[in-house]
Amino acid sequence: MLRSRLTLLIIVFLYIFLISYVLFLKPYNLNENYKINESSKKLATLLDKEGRIIAVDRTIYEVWLDLKTIKKRNKLEKLKPQLKRFLNENDFNKSFILLGKFEDILELKTYIPGNILKYSRIYKTYERNYNSSYDLRKNIGEIGKTEYGIEPYLYKKGLLSTQNIQLSLDLKMQKIAYEELSKMITEQNAEGGTVIIMETQTGKIRAVVSHYPWNMAFMGYIEPGSTMKPIIYSIALEEGLISPYQKFTLSPSISPVDGVNFTISEVEGHSFNSIDVKDAIAYSSNVAAVKVMKTIRENFSNEWLYNKLDQMGFGKKTGIEFSKEINGVFTKPDNWYKITPYQIAIGQGIGVTPIQLVSIFNIFANNGKYVKPTFLEKNKSKSFQVFSPEIANLMKDWLRYTMLKGTARKAYKPGVLIAGKTGTAQKAISGKGYSDKYYSLFVGFFPASKPKYTIVSIIDDPKKEYYGGEVAAPVATNIFYRLEDFKYSNKFQIVENYLPNLKNMTLTEALFILKTLGINEKKVILYGNGNYVVRQIPDISYNIKDIDFVILYLGDEKNEKNTDIR
């Protein structure tokens, strides 16, 4: 009898346990009751060189109510009281309607009753989230919305089906480049500007900033101005047409083509009687550059010169992983005028994209080798020799001298050992010649002796000064100064296991707090270009262990009321 009662108690206990497990303890699985349709494929996460998130897919569950079936089965009147939570009167006339988007199944199940889910279709889709700070979006682009950019390029090549793609971009460098370029554009009341930072030996692009509605770095071109001169001198030196110690006797102007009314003069206020090659580059003599071009033309044809420049990359796409890159402008020698080579000598009559210019100038920093630029961190770019290491190193020394004594001397900062060449290019107007507006240019590398980075800085139509040494070169030196000197001393101690309120903190402070909590900056997505956090996702009191990534919205000013800004 006792045994029978004991057996009965055990059976009752097991029954209660099973019912409790099914009702309360068993994990909810939507797939057991409802079909989930996958309406799109997940794209690869894009990361910067340190693994910080640039673009990532977030899983979204869309619930679409099938009103047509509800009406067909005469269930509308019964369900209508519940449906009024989600629908207005006009919605009841539709066949299908979106009830909501949810980040996880538990949220979906909690929000929508099961008897309504029974008449719903659930689609698993993905929402693309982009780090939009510091002009990044102009580099990345967006599938389905822009034809230009890295992402459309990778998509067309079928490369977005992998789990992660590590780009060469460095978000810290991007931030510094953006801030320094923005500051100069504001100071000069300029129309726009561009900065590109390339890793010298690998061709990896670490930062690209373009203060235009489009990405000027790959989709626009300018005349290179005096930044062309080191290239012309190097060609002549490589061919033995001039010596490193040669002196030029100069007049204030020169007419290089007999019988043609075409004169090139020195820049106003500059005049040289006798000058050697090093100083001709440092002080950017137009007449000396034209004399060197005359020597080249006396020994080689236009076709030879064209092929030499074509080999370096003038007039053709670099092939970087960016959709809609343009060729620039470099006409075939059959269409040259007699004066064209001499225009080229001073950087006129030829159009280069900023990515072409930094890649070509990188030859001097990279021991005479051209290396193809790339946005992919794990890509090993092709390279080939253009100038001998001896000529490249000689030019490297002269470009350092240019920063100390020549046209870029005003941009010199103690401790920042940079080398480079300035340029000031008049803006050409199609069919009308040149305007009274200018591009201010600087192309250089850092450190000068063993270059790690090559940079191009361009300011469009500065209103106060316009010479490259006064406007564009300081942008480069300030960037490298900050890259060397950037430090942050922490003043916070965070011990909580829950996400705190980051609003009104500076970006640097917020990133430190997140790092202290175990969320490094690789998992942080930024929106906006300001220095203060004005909104965060997830919101406060979210358990750290449940966070996959954090979205911070940035603004220029603190949100003193600490309200959510959308």
Read off the pLDDT band of 8 (50, 70, 90).
Answer: low
10 Å Cβ neighbour count for 28? 11
Q: Are strands 433-446 and 453-460 parallel, antiparallel or unpaired?
A: antiparallel
Please give the tally of structural domains in the chain: 4
pLDDT tens-digit map of 172-227:
999 999 999 999 999 999 999 999 999 999 999 999 999 999 999 999 999 999 99
Rounded Cα–Cα distance for residues 88 and 68 (Å) = 16
Residues 290 and 306 in one domain: yes
Cβ pair 293, 342 in contact under 8 A: yes
- Reported confidence tier of residue 24, pLDDT bands at 50, 70, 90: very low
The length of the chain is: 566
Domain boundary (108, 137, 166) is at: 166
Q: What is the pLDDT of residue 486?
A: 41
The highest-confidence range among 350-364, 407-421, 491-505, by mean pLDDT, is 350-364
89 and 218 share a domain?
no
Asked if residue 556 lies in contact with residue 530, where contact means CB atoms within 8 angstroms, the answer is: yes
Same domain, 282 and 309: yes
CATH number at residue 536: 3.30.10.20
pLDDT band at 28 (very low <50, low <70, confident <90, very high): very low
| pTM attached to this predicted model | 0.79
What interhelical angle do 354-365 and 389-405 show, nearest 10? 110
Helix, strand or coil, per DSSP, at residue 52:
coil
Q: Which residue range forms the structural domain that includes residue 146?
A: 37-166
Q: Are residues 7 and 66 in the same domain?
A: no
pLDDT tier, 26 (very low <50, low <70, confident <90, very high otherwise) = very low
Q: Please list the residues that pair with 444 across neighbouring strands.
A: 420, 455
CA distance 31 to 228: 65
Selected residue with higher pLDDT from 64 and 522: 64
CA dihedral 406, 408, 409, 410 (to 10 degrees): 140
Of the pLDDT bands very low, low, confident and very high (cuts 50, 70, 90), residue 71 is confident
Taking alpha carbons only, the member of 529, 540, 535 closest to residue 563 is 535
Q: Which of 441, 460, 485 is the last residue of a domain?
A: 485
Q: Are strands 433-446 and 164-166 parallel, antiparallel or unpaired?
A: unpaired
> What's residue 298's pLDDT?
96
pLDDT value at 362 more than 90: yes
Q: How confident is the model at residue 506 (pLDDT cuts 50, 70, 90)?
A: confident
Residue of 103, 152, 135, 116 whose CA lies nearest to 34: 116
Least confident of 99-103, 286-290, 473-477, 487-491: 487-491
Q: How confident is the model at residue 389 (pLDDT cuts 50, 70, 90)?
A: very high
For the chain, give the percent of residues with pLDDT over 70: 87
Is residue 209 domain-shared with residue 304, that is, in the same domain? yes
CATH number where 360 lies: 3.40.710.10
What's the 3-state SS for 294-340? HHHHHHCCHHHHHHHHHHHCCCCCCCCCCECCCCCECCCHHHCCCCH
Instruction: Give how far the C-alpha of residue 563 lies from the chain's centroid of Cα atoms, to the nearest Å.
Output: 31
Spatial neighbors of 411 by CB under 8 A, at least 6 apart, are 403, 418, 442, 469, 470, 473, 474, 476, 477
We report the CATH number of the domain holding residue 60 as: 3.90.1310
Are residues 225 and 296 both part of a single domain? Answer: yes
Q: Residue 566 has what pLDDT?
A: 29
Distance CA 139, CA 320 (A): 12
Mean pLDDT of all residues in the chain?
86
CA distance 335 to 215: 30
Q: Which of 463, 485, 507 is the last residue of a domain?
A: 485
Same-domain pairing of 45 and 151: yes
Domain check: are 218 and 120 in the same one? Answer: no
